[in-house]
Structure 1
Amino acid sequence: MNQITRCTWANSDALMQHYHDTEWGVPLRDSRMLWETLMLEGFQAGLSWQVILRKREAFREAFAGFDPQTVAAFGPQDVERLMGNAGIVRARAKIEATIRGAQIYLEMQARGEDFAGYCWSFTNGQTLAGEGIATHTELSTLISQDLKRRGFKFVGPTIVHAWMQAVGMVDDHAPGCFRHARR
């Protein structure tokens, strides 16, 4: 029987394996999906990605499929509704940051700035070779600073680096992993 070699973090359970094998590190060029992933990475702060992944469908339902137009219009009643939703991470600051993130996304769009184009401009549209076990890099720090300048929250260099790995801006699959350098 052939054994598939994966990044070690993906071996914890079937959900993590599937995520690793089909999503993590695959270049994502859809603006809305890039924004959704950035928001979910923000919810991960202080938690594990496994927790967020298990709750991802509940997040999608609670945040109207991460439709920026809808989320940007959420008000105080929506925040309270979300705070009562046991299916998601109930952190008021993260919920409010997601609503503000949707507003910023739309502001960028109104200025003619495509979110995917913005994100990938930092790597000239290319997937970069990873730096191994780094938790953040000079580039993730630069992107973090720019996102913060725009008003995004929960986008520190470590979160941004994890997001860059997830959306394929950086290939950080372990050298022995069957997905390493497969773009």
Structure 2
Amino acid sequence: MRISPEQSAALAAAGEAGLRAAGWLRDLVGRGEPRCLLDLAGDIAQALTGLDPYDHDTPDRDGRGGMVPELRERLVDPWWILHGDLPLTHGLRAALLALCGAACTAPVLVANGLDEAGLRAVCEVIDHTVGADPGPAEPAGIHGRLKILWVPTRRQTMCCVPRIRSVPYDQVARPPPDHVSS
């Protein structure tokens, strides 16, 4: 497999985006956010700087795009972000989940044939996330919920990363009252 200059530039941009995300997370810790974000910073940086275009899908095996299974497992299932004991705002929780999703998606795009446009989109998501305001200082609790929608993407083989959006608690869909039996 030959890598074009455009593909090489997309890989470099993804690595740089991963380093920007890691730096943003380290800055958050410096401003008083939980220290567990340092581990996430390292994981995201490792996932995006370690993209390997030669670790791609073949008829004999599924490629990983350079992501080792242990790292993928930590990023695909970041249960601790949604854990109620951490003093994180809704905006910060959504941002962390977006970064985890982006870091999991990039190796899939690389393993499925080095999708340059997809990698550019991952970089845009990361740049938007690290440039976004994480929201008010009120920690998330029973005042809100995250609504998680799973939408399969074309050629999604390695991980199922749900599309995540934040929805205020009072706007979460509920069954009409006439469906509730006493």
TM-score range for the pair, normalised by the shorter chain length: 0.3 to 0.5
TM-score by length of 2: 0.33
Q: Which has the larger radius of gyration?
A: 2
- Point out which structure has higher relative CO (alpha carbons under 8 A, 6+ apart): 1
Q: Which has the higher helix share?
A: 1
TM-score by length of 1: 0.32
Q: Which has the higher strand share?
A: 2
